[in-house]
A = this chain, B = another copy of it.
Amino acid sequence: MEKQIRLDVSNMFAEKIGSEHGLNREQVDDFQKKADQIHRYIREAKKEGKMGFMELPFQDHHKIEEIENFAAQRKSEIENFVVLGIGGSALGSIALQTALKDPYHNIRTDVRNDTPRLFVPDNVDPVRFGSLLDELDLEKTLFNVISKSGGTAETMSQFLITRQAVIEELGKESLKDHFVATTSQESGYLIEIAKQEGIPTFPIPGNVGGRFSVLSPVGLLFGAFAGLDIYELLSGARFMDELCSTADLWNNPAYLNALLEYLAYQEGKKMSVMFPYAHRLKDVADWYRQLWAESLGKEVDRDGKEVNVGPTPIKALGATDQHSQVQLYMEGPYDKIINFLEVKNFERKLKIPDAYQEIEGVSYLGGHSLNHLLQTEKKATELALTKRQRVNKTIILPEIQEHTLGQLFYLLELQTAFIGELFNINVFNQPGVELGKSYAYGILGRKGYQEMKRKYDKSPDHSEEFIV
């Protein structure tokens, strides 16, 4: 079977979408020179070690084996594998689980085999985190604490709570058996703590940020415990790297996709919808939402100019959102670009049985499969959007497997790096979250943030006149 994921961009162009909202081929051609420049820049930056995510598909096999071996050793001892982490430390694992594990993995002992139950609580909601703690048999639980710096308040709070629970139930000497830390090996609080407690560690490379880390140990350790073929994930990413080795816009899916998103943004399509027609891809859309928003939402460009730029990524899910969002996509403002994800072969087929031949509003369904229904709805929605001059494109996945997922992750990461150059911004930083963090540190009484506390306190209380 064909294993390459493909990008169909027909419905971005005037031929299909009409000239008012469609692009022209020349608009792409006009960017070829710029694309050549960016291509050279990316290659150069990669050589200089500034494109860490591009190195991950080629990481040392011994390191992957270490991950595999660790998981193989520990898996038989545990019932629960729990990721403590938030944002980029959680979204990749969640995406992997939803895409590649049974949708009811945690409640189905019959399909789980020797794989532990998988939990990525992600957030710090006390009710949800407390309920999870109540459910876990700590003796049979391994926690993977993930934070590059070890300074992530949510993650370290999760760690402090679970650490205390393990100490109380199993004793301090058990920490090393129930925790593993995925973190920077060079510096940070978590590596320091891990050494102190004798907790085993896996590295996050210094040049890989959270949102680009799914193919680093951050996602791979989870994959190994989940019983996924992590070699195939990386192989898929290498395959896509090869497909994207040309500077030719019309033949490089990452570059072409980036440019079309950029052109659409310039023409007022400020929202980019990721719209998979497969439940399994819904959290890939969520992972992408972080990648796109945090990389591209920037106040200043590389020259220090205030630009306040950034398309807003939106996740949707077919066919569900036909009954929720599609009315708006069809009739609302022309302010969106829709990205379908289409799956050719699902791993199982469900037939819709014939019945009620006399009721024509129901009987036509019989004999089709649920697969065909879902795929038909995608085609019908695509065609209707196109008729209504709503720009859209489709990423076609032959199937949902490790190899296709690896391709998809890498494609989306590389296109993020490319569009960042078109916007002339730094895609790898996130200065905008610092102010909020500092206020939080101040309120919580962290040393060195007293000034922020004072500023917070000075901010007058909400006046009753504005509360209804």
A88 at the B interface (CB under 8 A): yes
Render A132-174 as a binary contact track against B, CB cut-off 8 A, 1 for contact: 1111000000000000011111101100110110000000000
CA distance A271 to B314 in the complex (A): 11
CA distance A377 to B442 in the complex (A): 11
Contacts known (A210-B323, A359-B189); A331 close to B297, Cβ less than 8 A: yes
What residues of chain B lie closer than 8 Å to A270, measured between beta carbons? Answer: 270, 333, 335
A73 at the B interface (CB under 8 A): no
| A128, B279: Cβ atoms closer than 8 Å | yes
CA distance A432 to B324 in the complex (A): 11
What residues of chain B lie closer than 8 Å to A10, measured between beta carbons? Answer: 462-463, 466-467
Render A255-271 as a binary contact track against B, CB cut-off 8 A, 1 for contact: 01000000000000011
Chain A interface bracket (under 10, 10 to 19, 20 to 34, 35 or more): 35 or more
| A132, B104: Cβ atoms closer than 8 Å | yes
A49 at the B interface (CB under 8 A): no
Render A95-133 as a binary contact track against B, CB cut-off 8 A, 1 for contact: 000000011101110110000010000111111111111
| A251, B468: Cβ atoms closer than 8 Å | yes
Render A39-58 as a binary contact track against B, CB cut-off 8 A, 1 for contact: 00000000000000000000
CA distance A163 to B362 in the complex (A): 13
| Chain B residue nearest in CB terms to A429 | B327
| Chain B residue nearest in CB terms to A163 | B355
CA distance A192 to B436 in the complex (A): 57
CA distance A327 to B428 in the complex (A): 12
CA distance A296 to B331 in the complex (A): 10
Of A30-38, A199-207, A229-237, A364-372, the one touching chain B: A364-372
CA distance A368 to B446 in the complex (A): 12
| B297, A374: Cβ atoms closer than 8 Å | no
CA distance A281 to B359 in the complex (A): 40
| A193, B13: Cβ atoms closer than 8 Å | no
Q: Which of B164, B323, B334 contacts A290 (CB 8 A)?
A: B323
Contacts known (A308-B331, A309-B332); A160 close to B278, Cβ less than 8 A: no
CB contacts under 8 Å to B, within A278-304, are 278-280, 289-290, 293-294, 296-299
| Chain B residue nearest in CB terms to A250 | B468
Render A446-468 as a binary contact track against B, CB cut-off 8 A, 1 for contact: 11100000001001001100111
A78 at the B interface (CB under 8 A): no
CA distance A198 to B91 in the complex (A): 46
Main secondary structure of the interface of A (DSSP, over half): helix
What residues of chain B lie closer than 8 Å to A124, measured between beta carbons? Answer: 319, 370, 373-374
Q: Which of B323, B351, B385 contacts A87 (CB 8 A)?
A: B323
| A296, B362: Cβ atoms closer than 8 Å | no
Shortest CB-to-CB span from A414 to chain B, Å, is 13
What residues of chain B lie closer than 8 Å to A377, measured between beta carbons? Answer: 153-154, 436, 440
Of A178-186, A218-226, A342-350, the one touching chain B: A342-350
Q: Which of B312, B356, B435 contacts A271 (CB 8 A)?
A: B312
Of A1-9, A61-69, A402-410, the one touching chain B: A1-9
Render A356-391 as a binary contact track against B, CB cut-off 8 A, 1 for contact: 100111101110111111101101110111111000
Render A8-42 as a binary contact track against B, CB cut-off 8 A, 1 for contact: 11100100000000000000000000000000000
What residues of chain B lie closer than 8 Å to A129, measured between beta carbons? Answer: 350, 370
Contacts known (A193-B359, A310-B331); A157 close to B370, Cβ less than 8 A: yes
A325 at the B interface (CB under 8 A): yes
A439 at the B interface (CB under 8 A): yes
Q: Which of B256, B314, B326 contacts A468 (CB 8 A)?
A: B256
CA distance A278 to B125 in the complex (A): 6
| Chain B residue nearest in CB terms to A326 | B433
A-B contact pairs, 7 of them (CB 8 A): A123-B319, A125-B374, A126-B371, A127-B348, A153-B373, A154-B377, A310-B333
New contact pairs (12) apart from A9-B466, A157-B368, CB-CB < 8 Å: A7-B467, A110-B134, A123-B279, A127-B348, A160-B352, A160-B365, A271-B271, A312-B328, A326-B436, A364-B445, A379-B439, A381-B436
